[in-house]
Amino acid sequence: MQYRLEVQGGPAGPQSVAITAASEAEAIRQAARSGWRVLSIATVGNDGADQHAPAAARLPVTGGRGAQAFPLLQFSQELLALLEAGLNLSEAIATLHSKETRAGARAILAALQRAMQQGLSFSDTLATFPAIFPDLYIATVHAAERSGHLPQALARFVSYQLQFDAIRKKLVSAAIYPVMLLVVGTLVTLFLMGYVVPRFSVVYESAGREIPWASQLLLGMGRTLAAHPWLCAGALAAVVVAAIHAATNPRARQRMLQAVLRLPLLAARAAEFRLARFYRALSLLLHAGIPLTRALAMGSAMLTPAQQLALAQTRRAVEQGLPFSTALEQQGLATPVAQSLLKVGENTGRLGDMLERSASFHDEEFARWVDWASRLLEPLLMTIIGVVIGGVVVLMYMPIFELAGSLS
C-alpha cells in the first residue's frame, strides 16, 4: 500500500512524502532510516484520497534521547517475568506503565499501551519507535506473535543482550586501569615540566656552568611551559573537553572506536567479535521462526560495509541452493570453528543451536584475549610512564651529577 507521511528533518524542513510499504509500521521504519521524524501518516486510497491512519500510527519516532531514557533490556526482562506469571500482554504493559517512575520511559509505555488498545499488534506498535526497538527485536516479536511463543522469544533476546553486555562490561573494566595510568602519568609529567624544571633552570643559569644538550632541551621545554601557563591550561582543557565529548557523543564515540579497531593488532579480533554477534543474532532469528534468507538480510547491520557486501553474496548463493556453511566459507564469513559446527547443524537440522554455540565459543575466546591483553598492557604502560618520568628526573639532575664528578 502507499502511505503519505508528514515528516520533519533535513535541510528542506517539514515536508510530505509518499512511501510504498506493506504496513504503516514499515512505512514509519523506512522514513526513520532516511533520517526523518514522522509527524503523521495517512493511507492513500485507490481514488488518491488520503485516509488518516489511527492515532497510534501517528506516534512520533523517538530520537536518541528517548533511546537512552528507555531501558530495553530491563523492559524485556520485566515483561517476560509478567508473561510467565500468567498476565496477558495488555495487562503486562499496563503493569509496567503503572510502576514506572521515569518520565521518558513512562511516556513510551503509555504510547505502547494506547496503540495496543486501538488494535495495533505488539510488533507494529514497537515499530513506531525504531530508535528504541531495533529491527532484530521487532522481527523476533513479530515471528513470536504468529507462533504464540512470545515468552520464549523474549527469553532468547534477553540472553542475547546479556551476553553482549557481559562482553562490553569486560572491555570497559579492562580499559579503566590503563586509562587511569595514562591520565596520572600525564599529569605528573606536566607538573614536573611546568613547575619543577623551570626552577632548576634558574639555578643552573645562575651557576654559569656548561649544561649537557639533553638537559638544555628539557630546561628549554620547561621554560616554555612556564612562560605560557594559560596557553598550556587552555590546551589541556581542550583535550579534556574533547575526551568528554568523544565519550558522551554516540557518533564521536563510534568514529573513535572504529579508528581504534582498525589497528593491526585489533582488526582481526574485532572482525571475529562482529561475526560472533552476527551468529548469535542469526540464531535468535532462526529460533523465532524467521526464514534463513530474511534473517541474513536483517543481521547485516552488525557487520562492516565490506562484510555486508560479502553477506549479500552469501544470501544470493543460499537462494540459489548452495549450502549455508559453504556460502559463508566462500565469502570469508565463517571461522574454522563456525564452519565445522554449521556443517553439523545443517546435517542434524539444528542450525540455530550451532550458530549459538559458535557465538559462545568465540565470545569465550574473546574474553580470554581481553584478559591477556589487559594483563600485558598494564605493566607495559607502567614501564613507559616510569621511563618518561625517570628520564625527566635524570635530565634535571644530570648537571648536578657532572658537577659532583668534577669536584671529586
Q: Where are the beta strands (DSSP E) in 31-184?
A: 37-44, 50-52
Contact 78, 95 (CB under 8 A): no
Neighbours of 19 (CB within 10 A): 22
Neighbours of 237 (CB within 10 A): 10
26 φ, ψ to 5°? -65, -35
Task: Tell me the pTM.
Answer: 0.65
Return the pLDDT at 404: 62
How far apart (Å, rounded) are the C-alpha atoms in residues 30 and 37? 11
pLDDT in tens, 180-235: 888 888 888 888 888 888 887 777 777 666 777 877 888 888 888 888 888 888 88
Read out DSSP for 263-289? SHHHHHHHHHHHHHHHHHHHHHHHHTT
How far apart (Å, rounded) are the C-alpha atoms in residues 225 and 193? 7
Read out DSSP for 225-255? HHH-HHHHHHHHHHHHHHHHHHHH-HHHHHH
How far apart (Å, rounded) are the C-alpha atoms in residues 197 and 115? 68
pLDDT in tens, 323-357: 888 888 888 888 888 888 988 888 888 888 898 88
pLDDT in tens, 127-165: 878 778 887 788 888 878 777 778 888 888 888 888 888
Measured in whole angstroms, how far is the alpha carbon of residue 178 from the centre of its chain?
Answer: 21
Contact 180, 174 (CB under 8 A): no
pLDDT in tens, 260-319: 777 777 778 888 888 888 888 888 888 877 888 888 887 777 788 888 888 888 888 888
Contact 146, 289 (CB under 8 A): yes
How far apart (Å, rounded) are the C-alpha atoms in residues 288 and 205? 78
Contact 271, 366 (CB under 8 A): no
322 φ, ψ to 5°? -75, 140
CA-closest candidate to residue 193, choices 155, 224, 150: 224
Instruction: Please report which confidence band the pLDDT of residue 48 belongs to, taking 50, 70 and 90 as the band edges.
Output: very low
Q: 406 by DSSP, 3-state: which?
A: helix
Q: State how far the alpha carbon of 228 is from the alpha carbons of 6, 165, 232, in Å.
A: 55, 45, 6
Output Rg (C-alpha) for the chain, integer angstroms: 29
Q: Which is it for the CA torsion 28, 33, 38, 41, positive or negative?
A: negative
How far apart (Å, rounded) are the C-alpha atoms in residues 169 and 155? 21
Q: Is the pLDDT of residue 257 over 80?
A: no
Q: What is the DSSP letter of 11?
A: T
H or E element: which one contains 162? helix 150-191
